[in-house]
Homo-oligomer: A and B are copies of this chain.
Amino acid sequence: MTHRAPFDFFTRSAFGIEPGSHIGTQLEGLASRIDLSKGQTAPLDNRSDRIVFVASGATKLVAQASEQRQQIVAFHFDGDIVSVPADGLFANSVTALRHSELLVFPAREFFDSAAGEARIARSLLERLPIALQRCRDRAVALGQGSATERLAGFLLAMSERIGRADADHCELDLPMSRKEIGESLGLTIETVSRQFGVLRELGLIKTQGRSRVTIFDRDMLSRKAGHLHQTQKTSGNPTN
């Protein structure tokens, strides 16, 4: 990738605008390009909000309360846009799970520019509620779900984002360690490992090596995750 390839990918893939357009150059002026190798943390100024575009790679967004206690708030992959707030209740940071290329924007200026361009604004208004919904689903899982349910839900979510569906079963190469899965689900390494064992013995998944997971029965896994199913969906409420 040349030095400006990430930005072109950004404008095109994220917003469907051609590089070189007025708004494109405007946004490019705001961007800082960052290259992270595995395990590196992006040097973000935590005094104001940032918008980070993951051009390639895989990253984790980490919230840190104390030195010892940290939680992974979200994982992000190629083409994802991440909203990274200034430190609030917790300190936030973006760390690469593998080599990643990022574009970093100051949030305020980015939104100022984006708001004036209908196409970009529309795209952001499309993406942000999705991120919000992902976060809510996670919050529900963290609040209500058992360890097994959390891991089942995690595997399903990951398979939808980075899985390779192959007929009935689905292959998955997890770019994160058990420790990181645990930090994302609010569980310990050991519990995560035990739950992998549970799902394995139920015949729902197979694991090969540290990162390869094969999902045999998506539907049953979804049931184990405590997710809503067709039969139990609230029947259409006509008003509105």
Spell out A's residues near B (CB within 8 Å).
32, 34, 43-47, 49-50, 63-67, 69, 71, 73-74, 83, 85, 87-91, 104, 107, 111-112, 114-116, 118-119, 121-122, 124-126, 128-129, 131-133, 135-140, 142-144, 153, 184-186, 225-228, 232-234, 236-240
| A29 → B minimal CB distance (Å) | 14
Is A185 a contact of B143 with CB atoms below 8 Å? yes
Q: A90-B137, A228-B91 are in contact. Are A85 and B129 (CB under 8 A)?
A: yes
Residues in B whose Cβ lies below 8 Å from that of A111: 122, 125-126
- Is B228 a contact of A87 with CB atoms below 8 Å? yes
Indicate whether A91 sits within 8 Å of B233 (C-beta atoms), given known contacts A115-B121, A142-B142, A143-B185. Answer: yes
A87 neighbours in B (Cβ, 8 Å): 228, 233-234
Chain multiplicity (copies): 2
A112–B121 alpha-carbon span in the complex (Å)? 9
Q: Which listed residue (B122, B140, B227) contacts A115, Cβ 8 A?
A: B122
Is A228 a contact partner of B49 (Cβ separation < 8 A)?
Answer: no
- Contact call B128/A122, Cβ cutoff below 8 A: no
Task: Give the docked Cα–Cα distance between A228 and B65 (Å).
Answer: 5
Q: What separation, in Å, do the CA atoms of A91 and B114 have in the docked complex?
A: 32
Give 23 A-B contacts (CB < 8 Å), ordered by A residue.
A44-B240, A45-B238, A46-B233, A46-B234, A46-B236, A47-B236, A64-B234, A65-B227, A66-B232, A69-B144, A69-B226, A71-B143, A73-B139, A88-B137, A89-B140, A90-B228, A111-B125, A112-B122, A115-B118, A121-B121, A125-B128, A142-B186, A143-B184
Residues of B within 8 Å of A104, CB to CB, are 240
**A90 proximity list for chain B (CB < 8 A):** 137, 140, 227-228
Q: Which of A49, A71, A115, A232 has the most CB of B within 10 A?
A: A115
Residue of A43, A124, A185 contacting most chain B CB atoms (<10 Å): A124
Residues B240 and A144 in contact, CB atoms below 8 Å apart = no
